[in-house]
């Protein structure tokens, strides 16, 4: 039998999703969803993972579940094609995590670069919550519970998928072939891998206040784009400008489609021509930003409108999550049963001990 093609991915509900999430992962998911190449697609709102560093703020996690669900639907994730569910509503994931913990050493988790960076960012060095420390293991449970073959995520999640693969190999070698080895899918456009904040800082993040949100109104997007950090040495229009590492051009690389030139900036045929002019000098930041604003508005308007129409149907969104969580639990329970059998802890399944 051909192996089923299955997607699992997700996000922590700690805030609304922004354009970094969109180009880094959401856009790819929608593309894969609509490719018709996948038998099953699971999109998880990772509330349990969000609680690993928000244990004292459960209300924050709870409120953001619906926000993330709205962002998903706004981007074009389709509940008829993708099962959207809430992590903690699938308790099988916790049990799998507990078994996988025995296959991973403390030092291996300590070496995970994403965990390392996050511990530093949160000033957790002296007091890491054990649950937070173990979240890469729980993430391996998320992926394997659904027998995911494909995990479309942002670049920062790469170490998680590597760690998941190690757990799969270890489990299968100890207990026999049981779990499916997943493959990571990153966006192929480099600008999409790590979209900087509007302030030019390496990462878009809510705490830095440098995000453009999928739910932002047109006027807010404009204000943000017009205030974007550019090349600090490009002071007068005549000055030659730097394109590499310049957020305005990184955003254009991520969002601009060829047809936008004809529509909004017909003096240029394509992005290369625009970049060349900027590098030569004689092209002002305001002109580039106005163009970027038009591009961002064109890309984000349909998403915002779709979000607004789902906002009027919150009971339907609730139903999508409830039904999705039921479907997800069934699937995870099947895998858990295989895992218990492989581990010889399926005591009451065949009437003998
Ligand atoms: N760690 C992801 C994030 O920070 C969320 C997540 C949890 C996830 N489990 C996953 C992503 C499994 C992909 C696969 O957003």
Domain for residue 204, yes or no? no
Same domain, 176 and 293: no
Same domain, 273 and 328: no
Same domain, 35 and 155: yes
Domain for residue 128, yes or no? yes
12 lines ligand 1 (CB under 6 A): yes
- Cross-strand pairs, 11: 45
Which pLDDT belongs to residue 250?
96
Same domain, 143 and 241: no
Same domain, 35 and 162: yes
Candidate of 42, 138, 153 to mutate for ligand 1, largest count of ligand atoms within 8 Å of Cβ: 153
* Domain CATH code at residue 268: 1.10.240.10
In which element (H, E) is residue 183 found? Answer: strand 183-185
Which pLDDT belongs to residue 187?
85
Same domain, 288 and 337: no
Total domains present in the chain: 2
Domain for residue 32, yes or no? yes
Same domain, 120 and 159: yes
pTM over 0.85: yes
Domain for residue 274, yes or no? yes
- Its domain, for residue 134, covers 6-194+314-342
Q: Which residues does 149 contact at the CB level (< 8 Å), separation at least 6?
A: 3, 4, 5, 6, 7, 180, 182, 183
* Cα end-to-end span (Å), the chain: 33
Domain for residue 209, yes or no? no
Domain for residue 91, yes or no? yes
Q: How far apart are CA 225 and CA 289, in angstroms?
A: 6
Same domain, 168 and 226: no
Same domain, 250 and 132: no
* Domain CATH code at residue 43: 3.40.50.620
115 lines ligand 1 (CB under 6 A): no
Same domain, 25 and 168: yes
pLDDT tens, position by position, for the chain (353 residues)? 679 999 999 999 999 999 999 999 999 999 999 999 999 999 999 999 999 999 999 999 999 999 999 999 999 999 999 999 999 999 999 999 999 999 999 999 999 999 998 888 888 878 899 999 999 999 999 999 999 999 999 888 999 999 999 999 999 999 999 999 999 999 888 888 889 999 998 788 888 899 999 999 999 999 999 999 999 999 999 999 999 999 999 999 999 999 999 999 999 999 999 999 999 999 999 999 999 999 999 999 999 999 999 999 999 999 999 999 999 999 999 999 999 999 999 999 877 77
Dihedral class, residue 48 (left if φ above 0, else alpha if ψ from -120 to 50, else beta): alpha
Report the separation in Å between the CA atom of 141 and the middle of ligand 1, taken as the mean of its atom positions: 11
The tokens 């784009």 sit on which residue? 225
Same domain, 274 and 303: yes
Domain for residue 211, yes or no? no
Same domain, 147 and 254: no
Which pLDDT belongs to residue 1?
64
Domain for residue 150, yes or no? yes
Report the separation in Å between the CA atom of 154 and the middle of ligand 1, taken as the mean of its atom positions: 9
Neighbours of 123 (CB within 10 A): 8
Which pLDDT belongs to residue 122?
83
Phi and psi at residue 133, to the nearest 5°: -55, -35
Which protein residue has the closest C-alpha to ligand 1 atom 13?
Answer: 9
């Amino acid at each position: 039998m051909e192996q089923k093609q299955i997607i699992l991915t997700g996000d922590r509900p700690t805030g609304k999703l922004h354009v970094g999430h969109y180009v880094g992962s959401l856009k790819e998911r929608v593309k894969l969803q609509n490719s018709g190449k996948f038998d099953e697609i699971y999109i998880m709102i990772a509330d349990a993972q969000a609680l690993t560093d928000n244990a004292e703020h459960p209300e924050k996690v709870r409120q953001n579940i619906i926000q993330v669900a709205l962002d998903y639907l706004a981007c074009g994730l389709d509940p008829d094609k993708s099962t959207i569910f809430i992590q903690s509503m699938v308790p099988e994931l916790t049990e799998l995590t507990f078994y996988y913990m025995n296959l991973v050493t403390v030092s291996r988790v300590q070496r995970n670069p994403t965990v390392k960076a996050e511990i530093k960012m949160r000033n957790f060095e002296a007091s890491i919550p054990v649950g937070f420390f173990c979240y890469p293991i729980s993430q391996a449970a998320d992926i394997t519970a659904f027998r995911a073959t494909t995990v479309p995520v942002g670049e920062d999640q790469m170490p998680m998928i590597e760690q998941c693969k190690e757990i799969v190999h270890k489990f299968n070698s100890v207990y026999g072939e049981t779990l499916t080895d997943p493959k990571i899918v990153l966006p192929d456009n480099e600008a999409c891998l790590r979209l900087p904040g509007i302030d030019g800082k390496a990462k878009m993040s809510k705490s830095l206040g440098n995000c453009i949100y999928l739910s932002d109104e047109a006027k807010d997007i404009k204000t943000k784009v017009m205030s974007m950090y550019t090349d600090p040495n490009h002071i007068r229009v005549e000055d030659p400008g730097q394109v590499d590492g310049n957020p305005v051009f990184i955003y254009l690389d991520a969002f601009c489609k060829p047809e936008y030139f004809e529509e909004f900036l017909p003096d240029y045929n394509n992005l290369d021509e625009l970049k060349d002019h900027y590098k030569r000098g004689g092209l002002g930041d305001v002109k580039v930003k106005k163009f970027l604003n038009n591009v961002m508005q064109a890309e984000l308007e349909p998403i915002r409108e779709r979000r607004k129409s789902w906002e009027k149907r919150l009971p339907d969104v609730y139903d999508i999550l409830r039904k999705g969580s039921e479907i997800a639990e069934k699937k995870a329970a099947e895998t858990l049963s295989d895992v218990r059998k492989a581990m010889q802890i399926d005591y009451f399944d065949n009437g003998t001990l």
